[in-house]
Amino acid sequence: MKPMAAPDGLPPLRDVIERHGLAAKKSLGQNFLLDLNLTRKIARAAGDIANSTIVEIGPGPGGLTRALLMEGAKQVIAIERDDRCLAALDDIAARYPGRLQVHSGDALEIDWTKLIAGAHPVTIAANLPYNIASLLLVGWLETEPWPPWFDRMVLMFQREVAERIIAAPHTKAYGRLSVLAQWRTQAKIVINLPPEAFTPPPKVASAVVDFRPVPTPDPPCRVSTLARVTAAAFGQRRKMLRSSLKQLTPMAELLLREAGIAPERRAEDLSVEEFVRLAAIFDRGDWERP
């Protein structure tokens, strides 16, 4: 009996995986979403994409890719490191002529502005490979100049990482990722997914986070300095800031007092605005003078 086609006229994803021998590789952080109802829900979370170029990382057998195209994406640019998946993606490209570009390569080495040259608006939408998800996100959040080359990001992470992104001060999940994400974007969890939604099921739940870039983050500071300040502060998060920030400057207490922050406080107690103020004052340099 011939398998029933999916709504887009292509074979069901389970059949695609079997035909191309696409067992998920742990080394590539792969966990495939096979339910097109779920992938279409994620695609719809990106809003009206009819005039958008979508950048997708790690499409695998193409579950989300197909959903994005079914939901009307003008163009999808997919980055896939696993050569085994390319034939399956070629089948999707043939089904949607001119709307899917597939690039074989490592997403950590892509020149994004060159890749999307001339495209606007751009949304990054992806079930990110879990082993590089945080690295990719930090790279996009540290994009210079800002506003960035993308207009929106709709990204899936392990639930733990998603909770770190949106975490508030005074919580264990609050950290460097929280500060950077919340300074430069408005971020919120929009979909939660249990392990059994994936093949193979991961050991943890997952969540989709919607990021809307803030055109002019306020207060302003250099993102590279904010990265240094938060690395020092959260690198020894149980220590008082007057101790942890000594990795940044031997005059940590003077810097904190200039910023109006009690030296006895700890990293998880500071707001995003206070971290940004610290970074801006550190760059200013005049606080070091007698």
Averages of pLDDT over runs of 10 residues in the chain (290 residues) are 71 90 73 89 96 96 96 97 93 97 95 93 94 95 96 97 98 97 98 90 93 95 96 94 95 94 97 97 78
Pull the structure tokens for residue 255: 């810097």
Contact assessment for residue 65 and residue 92, using Cβ atoms and an 8 Å cutoff: yes
Q: What is the pLDDT of residue 1?
A: 43
Amino acid at 223: V
Per-residue pLDDT at 131: 87
Known binding residue 106? Answer is: yes
127 marked ligand binding residue: yes
Q: Give the pair of three-digit tokens for residue 267.
A: 């990293």
The span from the CA of 178 to the CA of 173, in Å, is: 8
Is 175 annotated as contributing to ligand binding? no
Q: How far apart are the first and last CA of the chain?
A: 84
**8 A C-beta contact, residue 54 and residue 73:** yes
Residue 108 annotated in ligand binding: no
Cis peptide before 195 (omega within 30 of 0): no
Burial class (CB in 10 A: 0-12, 13-18, 19+), 89: buried
pLDDT score of 3:
53
> Which structural domains are found in the chain, ordered by start?
13-213 (3.40.50.150), 223-288 (1.10.8.100)
pLDDT digits (tens, 9 = 90+) for 95-149: 999 999 999 999 999 999 999 998 999 999 999 988 899 999 999 999 999 999 9
pLDDT value of position 104? 95
